[in-house]
Amino acid sequence: MKGTGQYDRVFALIGHPVAHSVSPLMHNEAFGELGLNCCYLAFDVKVDDLAAAVKAIRALGLGGANITIPHKEGVLPYLDEVEEQAGLIGAVNTVVNREGRLIGYNTDAPGFLESLRADAGFDPAGSRVVILGAGGAARAVAYALALGGVESLGIFNRNPSRAEALARDISRSAACELETGDLQGIALRRALARADLLVNATSAGMHPHTDEVPLPDPAALRPGLIVYDLVYNPRKTRLLLEAEARGCRVFNGIGMLVYQGALAFELWTGRKAPVAVMRVAAEKALGT
Ligand code: NAP
């Protein structure tokens, strides 16, 4: 691989916008912790410039990149190879430059599972899960859970036809029971009454729309239910506050953010990621 000036290797974040991303601080602190002479920079790349930006990973000899909103799906055609699970999900958030070949991975899915295990002590095998949302993050989470052996998966979305399309895709690779619906109906309440885990994968409640809540009837939340909100800004969404008040065990998306970053770091460096250092950096970057 080509040299990149004073650093042995340079890594990039490609997204739009990227100004408030916590990834640069998280990765740079991790490189520092392990004494690696590497650096991670954020680049604001518009959709029309994505192809050129991906080519630049190769041309400039970067070690790899993270790909974020809105490019996680659009980047696939520009890569030389896409790892199997990323191909199923249809989204790549990590690119590794292996001797000029760009390989795409999805670390959001295993990062979510790792956070569930490490932060919540929850193993999804044999469990009943309800997911709210059917966008990019919901796809990663749904595949992770389905391939992680859940017994049943309910996918509920404001636009239910997107939930149906996601369930159809998943049914081709996993054998779990699948159910879909909208956010208003009785089906969601029934599914929640039997669920072990509720995941919010919608953007409802995310800054600056902190008054929004994806679940219209919080009475459906019962004590002991694990509620995992992928949103991490604010640290506690209205959903998490309502769930906590009803005796649920609540988790925000910082854990997923840290573990997807840790898995990307390991793909790039071959070294075990300093997860605790990365979590402190993420919290610091978020001002929490
Ligand atoms: P996306 O592809 O744009 O999907 C957005 C989803 O949210 C869709 O299902 C959409 O429903 C739903 N939605 C939006 N506003 C809503 C509202 N007011 N009420 C109910 N549903 C609403 O976005 P994404 O990439 O999947 O991201 C979703 C969330 O996950 C974001 O908050 C993002 O920050 C978070 N996330 C966190 C991590 C992490 O590491 N913690 C990683 C990835 C994403 P419709 O289909 O009906 O429009």
Q: Which residue puts its alpha carbon closest to atom 38 of ligand 1? A: 230
Distances 40 to 87, 111, 167 between C-alpha atoms, Å: 25, 20, 36
Q: Which residue puts its alpha carbon closest to atom 37 of ligand 1? A: 230
Instruction: Specify the pairing of strand 249-251 against strand 81-82.
Output: unpaired
> What's residue 287's pLDDT?
86
Catalytic: 272? no
Instruction: Specify the pairing of strand 101-105 against strand 94-98.
Output: antiparallel
| Ligand 1 surroundings by CB, under 6 angstroms | 69, 108, 133-138, 157-159, 162, 201-204, 206, 212, 214, 230-232, 253, 256-257, 260
Domains of the chain and any CATH numbers: 9-106+255-286 (3.40.50.10860), 109-252 (3.40.50.720)
Contact 170, 196 (CB under 8 A): no
For ligand 1, the distance from its centroid to the CA atom of residue 133, given in whole angstroms, is 6
For ligand 1, the distance from its centroid to the CA atom of residue 63, given in whole angstroms, is 29
The whole-angstrom separation of Cα 230 and Cα 221 is 17
The whole-angstrom separation of Cα 228 and Cα 141 is 11
Contact 26, 282 (CB under 8 A): yes
* Shortest-distance atom of ligand 1 to CA 72: 25
Residue with tokens 């991303």: 21
* Helices assigned H by DSSP within the chain: 23-34, 50-59, 84-89, 108-120, 136-147, 160-171, 186-194, 238-245, 254-269, 275-286
| pTM of the predicted protein model | 0.95
Q: Read off the amino acid at residue 90.
A: G
> What's residue 12's pLDDT?
98
Please, what is the Cα angle at 155 between 150 and 160, to 5 degrees? Answer: 160
* Cross-strand pairs, 128: 152
> What's residue 1's pLDDT?
44
What does each of the 288 residues of the chain score in pLDDT, given as a tens digit? 445 568 999 999 999 999 989 999 999 999 999 999 999 999 999 999 999 999 999 999 999 999 999 999 999 999 999 999 999 999 999 999 999 999 999 999 999 999 999 999 999 999 999 999 999 899 999 999 999 999 999 999 999 999 999 999 999 999 999 999 999 999 999 999 999 999 999 999 999 999 999 998 899 999 999 999 999 999 999 999 999 999 999 999 999 999 999 999 999 999 999 999 999 999 999 986
Q: Which is catalytic among the residues 2, 46, 55, 72? A: 72
Distances 28 to 78, 145, 165 between C-alpha atoms, Å: 26, 30, 39
> What's residue 3's pLDDT?
52
Contact 248, 225 (CB under 8 A): yes
Q: Which residue puts its alpha carbon closest to atom 12 of ligand 1? A: 202
Mutational test site, ligand 1, from 198, 203, 252, 286, max ligand atoms within 8 Å of CB: 203
Q: Which residue puts its alpha carbon closest to atom 7 of ligand 1? A: 202
> What's residue 181's pLDDT?
98
